[in-house]
Amino acid sequence: MSGRPFRNIVILTGAGISAESGLGTFRDKGGIWEKFDWQKLATPEAFRSDPHSVHDFYNARRANMAGAQPNDAHRALAALELLWQAEDRGSFLLVTQNIDDLHERGGSREVLHMHGELLKSRCNSCGHLFEHTHALGVETACPSCARAGGLRPHVVWFGEMPLGLDTIYEALGACDLFVAIGTSGTVYPAAGFVSEAKAAGAWTVELSLEPGEVSALFDEHHYGPATKIVPEWAGRI
């Protein structure tokens, strides 16, 4: 711990926080990208050339997510947000790379999903964005323009611009504590957030199962399962 009181917090979560809820991570042994080829499933080009396979992949993950429950790490962050707001301690921004809804179901009020949300879809024809909890296919008609074939999962694929970056960079520039939880630090721009926070003078903390790619940039590290180390860390601050 730095020993100083913190006011403005930015927390970045990755797949590791949902691992103990039964949702797979991407790059661990047996992870999603070991079983599936991201080039064929998580790029705009893949969706253009084989939308059926991309829909199948996200439909299966949506069904899997519906059966998953938030864990103690999700709940600890929700409690921290509540405390920060109740005591008016400063700003609190929870940014997740995850497309699942476990932070919301764990009690978090405001979550910035920088890589999109599995429970939302959008129409490539008219741009309509809407909540969508069931399977999506090329034959599904847009509820707004009624055209079929244009709907896609509201997720950010490789080569696409992540969401909410203005809000995130503004918060990083003003934060005095940055915490990354359960992320390998492989995917940019999220992997670069620690550098932004450090440039703003923030104390930086890595909470994960093992050191990630940008681990050396953090001031403080705690390694272990998220359900153990996140509630412990949140309890300390």
Specify the stretch interacting with ligand BJW by CB under 6 A; choose among 79-87, 105-113, 140-148, 187-195.
187-195
Give strand pairing partners of 122. 129, 152
Which residue in the block uniquely carries the two structure tokens 């960079």? 169
Residue 225 interacts with ligand BJW (CB under 6 A): yes or no: yes
Residue 108 interacts with ligand BJW (CB under 6 A): yes or no: no
Which residue in the block uniquely carries the two structure tokens 């070991």? 34
Provide the terminal-to-terminal Cα distance of the chain, rounded to the nearest Å.
9
Decide: residue 43, CB within 10 A, 0-12 exposed, 13-18 middle, 19+ buried.
middle
Residue by residue, DSSP assigns 188-235 as TTGGGHHHHHHHTT-EEEEEESS--TTGGG-SEEEES-HHHHHHHHHH
Specify the stretch interacting with ligand BJW by CB under 6 A; choose among 15-23, 87-95, 128-136, 196-204.
15-23
Give strand pairing partners of 206. 180, 221
Residue 34 in tokens: 């070991």
Number of residues that bind ligand BJW (CB under 6 A): 36
Q: Which residue among 55, 103, 113, 115 is the active-site one?
A: 115
Query: Is 221 designated active site?
Result: no
Residue 70 interacts with ligand BJW (CB under 6 A): yes or no: no
Residue 82 interacts with ligand BJW (CB under 6 A): yes or no: no
Q: Is the CB of 97 or the CB of 176 nearer to ligand BJW?
A: 97
- Residue selected from 113, 115, 152, 154 as contacting ligand BJW according to rule CB under 6 A: 115
Residue 226 interacts with ligand BJW (CB under 6 A): yes or no: yes
- Residue selected from 42, 76, 136, 205 as contacting ligand BJW according to rule CB under 6 A: 42
Q: Is the CB of 27 or the CB of 105 nearer to ligand BJW?
A: 27
Write the DSSP symbol of residue 67: T
CA dihedral over 148, 53, 19, 191, signed as positive or negative? negative
Q: Which residues would be at the binding site for ligand BJW (CB under 6 A)?
A: 14-16, 19-20, 25-28, 31, 42, 97, 99, 115, 155-162, 165, 182-184, 186-189, 208-210, 212, 225-226
The catalytic residues are 115
